[in-house]
Amino acid sequence: MSGFTAGGNLDGAWVLTRLVWDFTLSRWQRGTGWVNFAEWAPGRFQCREDLVFAGNTARRMTLWDVSADRIDIHYADGYPLVGLDLSLMPSKGEHLCGEDLYRARLKPVDAMRFLLGWRVTGPRKNYAMVTDYRRMAR
């Protein structure tokens, strides 16, 4: 995927828009905010999201290990969230959390924009989410 090579153009500030469809409540929720990807080692990024969502502010930290053909996303504590094979587009991955299944799909738009979607199903969760990442001007 263009733009996701180690040390590539992921580093820096991005604007995000997140849409979530809650199947249980039959409603959309929308969030907007900023993301900063800070490269702390070659191909390793700390991702900090600051988001206003449904009237509340939220911050989330994840770790992204990026190579030419793969992205592995981890929670801030290092626990694996999902691995995405970049040789297949759109890239897909899954993560089982207890009995809830998280299915991820990453789709590049261009070097300045990508989409990361999730479909989450299980006894505790039932929603679809897509986040649109757009690089901020440098």
Please check the confidence at residue 9 and state whether its pLDDT lies above 80.
no
DSSP bridge partners of 105: 92, 117
CB distance 102 to 120 below 8 Å: yes
Q: What's the pLDDT at 6?
A: 39
CB distance 14 to 134 below 8 Å: yes
Q: What's the pLDDT at 54?
A: 81
List CB contacts of 39: < 8 A, sequence separation 6 or more.
Answer: 7, 10, 11, 45
Domain spans of the chain, in order of start? 12-135
Q: Of 53, 61, 62, 48, which Cα lies nearest the Cα of 12?
A: 48
As a whole number, the mean pLDDT across the chain is: 90
Q: What is the pTM of this model?
A: 0.89
More confident residue, 68 or 96: 96
Please check the confidence at residue 2 and state whether its pLDDT lies above 70.
no
Please check the confidence at residue 108 and state whether its pLDDT lies above 50.
yes
Q: What's the pLDDT at 110?
A: 85
- Answer whether CATH 2.40.128.20 is correct for domain 12-135: yes
Q: What's the pLDDT at 32?
A: 97
Q: What's the pLDDT at 5?
A: 44
Please check the confidence at residue 88 and state whether its pLDDT lies above 90.
no
* Dihedral sign of CA atoms 111, 132, 102, 107 in order: negative
Please check the confidence at residue 1 and state whether its pLDDT lies above 70.
no
Q: In the structure encoding, which two tokens stand for residue 36, read together?
A: 């900063």
Q: What's the pLDDT at 8?
A: 55
Length of the chain: 138
Please check the confidence at residue 7 and state whether its pLDDT lies above 80.
no
pLDDT digits (tens, 9 = 90+) for 42-85: 989 999 999 998 889 999 999 999 988 899 999 999 999 999 99
